[in-house]
Amino acid sequence: MDIKTALLSKFQALYGRAPEVVAYAPGRVEILGNHTDYNEGYVLSAAINLGTYFAVAPRTDGVTRLTAGDVMETVEYDTAHPVATKEHSWSNYVKGVQAGLNEECLRRKSHDTDRNVCATGVDAMFLGNIPLGSGLSSSAALEVSAGLALSRHFGLEIAPLAMAKIAQQAEHRFAGVKCGLMDQMTSLFGKRDAMVWSDFRHLTAQTVPVPRDICFLLCNTKARHALVDGAYNERREACERAARYFASVLDHPVTALRDVRWREWEAHKEGSTDIPVCAQDTERTDRNVCATFMRRAAHPIGENERVLEGVECLKHGDVAGFGKLMFASHESSRVYFENSCPELDALVDAAKTIPGVLGARLTGGGFGGSVVVMVPVRNAESVSAALGHAYESRFATPCDVRAVVCSEGAEVTSDQ
């Protein structure tokens, strides 16, 4: 039974009727451009053939009943006033989206006095097949699928970029993760057989065709990461402080690390220990703190240049050159950003020794999750087996390896 059919069956059994709207949003794989989105930089990513379905049916009492279809746990809350909670924290992603839609409803209501859709309730359920904690952004798939289904139910026409921002704010305000827009934009703008090349300063997305003779393997280590624990937010704060330092010493405008070139980082990495990185009069200079901020900054600065070089490689069919950039990206994650882990490093190290592998790197926020590996299609089966064997030999536990397809973005799949 496929995921959508299973969701419809569970929905009918629990709520006693079919849903009014069903929406789907894919997960994503980040190919190049790690932690560059919130630094106003570039990312090459792709929507994948794993995702989340979200179904809704109307209620009239202003109550939302939300069910996680995998564990069949249900929470109830006031549709017009959702509140984040520690219990059933998975519900916060949907509550945050609902809060954003409520705000949009109220804004539009000022122009339409008969509109009061925020007061209505829904029965809702979601079900997906993205492994949790795998670094494939199950959270964004849930947010986007919920946003599409609920906005259609409320009768709201919301542009894709605006929907991505609503989903991002849900993560900021309700889940406590100051994520960028990469996950949500990739889920919404994905195209089959193509990567999404996103510019997060201008918030634009275009597609770059994937060569037909290569594919991507996802290696899920099952090492769980928890970005809410503060590691993600600490990295973001370090980048913001480093950007303020560069703005104080470079002779051109710097509003984010996108504006800093690698040669400028190399020229100033040592001198940064002499003045406060934050350029705040009240902050005490600490050489170790300054050095940490500068080391963190090296990663997104280098990543932005690797993405631009990678686009050129793809345009000229240079898959070998693109693969080298993937390996360099992982090394930067490991050394500068320190968002890798032994499981991810072991897989990338193994990939370097396996015939047929073109490139490999961690994908997503890091601190666990998955490695993405680029291989010729003809080598996919043998490389998958070799990677699985290498990982199990090292950690005495299997690693899930699967080929993924660059897929279409999110959509409403049925509207009764």
Do 37 and 200 meet the contact criterion of CB atoms below 8 Å apart? yes
The string of DSSP letters for 5-22 reads HHHHHHHHHHHSS--SEE
373 sits in which H/E element:
strand 370-376
Return the structure tokens found at 47.
Answer: 């929507």
Residue 374 pairs with which residues in a beta bridge?
Answer: 216, 359
Residue 369: strand, helix, or coil: coil
Amino acid making up residue 310 = G
Instruction: Tell me the pairing of strands 214-220 and 121-128.
Output: unpaired
Residues identified as active-site:
183
Instruction: For residue 131, give every residue at least 6 positions away whose Cβ sits within 8 Å of its Cβ, in sequence order, or none.
Output: 138, 220, 222, 400
Instruction: For residue 283, give every residue at least 6 positions away whose Cβ sits within 8 Å of its Cβ, in sequence order, or none.
Output: 276, 277
Q: 188-210 as b/e, with b when 16 or more CB fall inside 10 Å?
A: bbbbeebbbbbbbeeeebebbeb
